[in-house]
């Protein structure tokens, strides 16, 4: 836990949501209340799947956990730090240091090589733990995910699965404690999707990073320690057990 930790924080929780609501305002239209009192604890190193219908607020929830957005009411704590009380600049620092994101589309920069792409987050993260220099870590992780021969390729020369693996390395480059993946296999065929899921779970163990995956895929969800269903603005165990 950091020096800025909230006095009421639960020391064993990596992420804690307490009574979180999120309303979107659109001019000339009624507010949309997407989250209506979400409570959640994610412990260090665990794996969690969040499932739910399209439009139920899964991406909204993930963005709040990763300090990409702020909730309307309630509290979001990341590693004991209450994100509601932090400035935009502090939130950016938390994101760069503690959180890795993987999205449905890889969002690699087309004009940069794979190696350059995965190193970009290190520019924003500040010194941190540099026991393994970023260039060495990039090289090691790219080998680890099977991209050792592709490091100096531009993204357009990679397959869909290879691009997602590069995006996973980019998400892990700063040694985050939390990896957030929003439909990471949504654009992949079944075989490639299964392989990416295996890789995410292996890296969860090897890197000790907690993994929260939003997915439509019940087979993928079933491989996580637990699954929660987001419906009508609340999180609950899915019917038939977690």
Q: Provide the binding-site residues for ligand ADP, judged by CB under 6 A.
A: 24, 26, 32, 34, 52, 54-60
| 3-class secondary-structure state, position 33 | strand
Binding mask 17-46 for Mg ion (x = CB under 5 A): ------------------------------
Nearer to ligand ADP, 122 or 185 (CB): 185
Nearer to ligand ADP, 38 or 78 (CB): 38
Q: What, of ligand ADP, Mg ion, none, does residue 217 touch, CB below 5 to 8 Å by kind?
A: none
Shortest distance in whole angstroms from residue 187 CB to ligand ADP = 15
| CA count, 13 A, side-chain hemisphere, 67 | 26
Nearer to Mg ion, 55 or 237 (CB): 55
Q: How many Å apart are CA 76 and CA 14, to the nearest integer?
A: 11
Shortest distance in whole angstroms from residue 151 CB to ligand ADP = 32
Output the six-digit token pair for 99. Answer: 């959180």
Nearer to Mg ion, 59 or 227 (CB): 59
* 107 phi, psi to nearest 5 deg: 55, 35
Nearer to ligand ADP, 101 or 158 (CB): 101
Q: What, of ligand ADP, Mg ion, none, does residue 133 touch, CB below 5 to 8 Å by kind?
A: none
Are residues 51 and 230 in contact, defined by beta-carbon separation less than 8 angstroms?
yes
Are residues 140 and 148 in contact, defined by beta-carbon separation less than 8 angstroms?
no
Shortest distance in whole angstroms from residue 32 CB to ligand ADP = 5
C-alpha R_g of the chain? 18
Query: Which residue is nearest to Mg ion, using beta carbons?
Result: 59
Q: How many Å apart are CA 195 and CA 174, to the nearest integer?
A: 23
Q: What, of Mg ion, ligand ADP, none, does residue 113 touch, CB below 5 to 8 Å by kind?
A: none
Nearer to Mg ion, 98 or 183 (CB): 183
Q: How many Å apart are CA 217 and CA 193, to the nearest integer?
A: 10
Site for Mg ion in 150-209 (CB under 5 A): none
- Pick the stretch among 45-53, 54-62, 146-154, 196-204 that binds Mg ion (CB under 5 A): 54-62
What angle, 0 to 180 degrees and rounded to 10, lies between the N-to-C axes of helices 114-124 and 160-172?
30
* 5 phi, psi to nearest 5 deg: -60, 140
165 dihedral zone (left: phi>0; alpha: psi -120 to 50; beta): alpha
Shortest distance in whole angstroms from residue 18 CB to ligand ADP = 19
Q: Does 59 bind Mg ion (CB under 5 A)?
A: yes
* 157 phi, psi to nearest 5 deg: -90, 0
Q: Which residues bind Mg ion (CB under 5 A)?
A: 59
């Amino acid at each position: 836990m950091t020096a800025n930790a909230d006095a009421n924080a639960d020391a064993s929780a990596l992420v804690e949501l307490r009574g979180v609501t999120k309303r979107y305002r659109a001019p000339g239209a009624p507010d949309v209340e997407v989250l209506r009192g979400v409570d959640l604890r994610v412990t260090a190193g665990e794996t969690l799947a969040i499932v739910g219908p399209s439009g139920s607020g899964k991406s909204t929830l993930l963005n709040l956990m990763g300090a990409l957005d702020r909730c309307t009411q309630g509290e979001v704590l990341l590693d004991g730090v209450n994100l509601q009380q932090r400035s935009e600049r502090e939130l950016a620092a938390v994101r760069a240091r503690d959180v890795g994101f993987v999205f449905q589309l890889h969002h690699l920069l087309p004009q940069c090589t794979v190696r350059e792409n995965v190193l970009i987050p290190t520019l924003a993260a500040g010194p941190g733990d540099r026991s393994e220099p970023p260039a060495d870590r990039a090289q090691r992780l790219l080998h680890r995910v099977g991209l050792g021969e592709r490091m100096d390729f531009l993204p357009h020369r990679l397959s869909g699965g290879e691009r997602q693996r590069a995006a996973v390395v980019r998400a892990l480059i700063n040694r985050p404690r939390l990896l957030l993946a929003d439909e990471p296999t949504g654009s992949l065929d079944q075989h490639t999707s299964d392989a990416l899921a295996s890789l995410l779970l292996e890296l969860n163990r090897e890197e000790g990073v907690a993994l929260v995956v939003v997915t439509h895929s019940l087979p993928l969800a079933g491989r996580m320690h637990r699954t929660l269903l987001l419906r009508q603005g609340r999180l609950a165990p899915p019917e038939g057990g977690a």
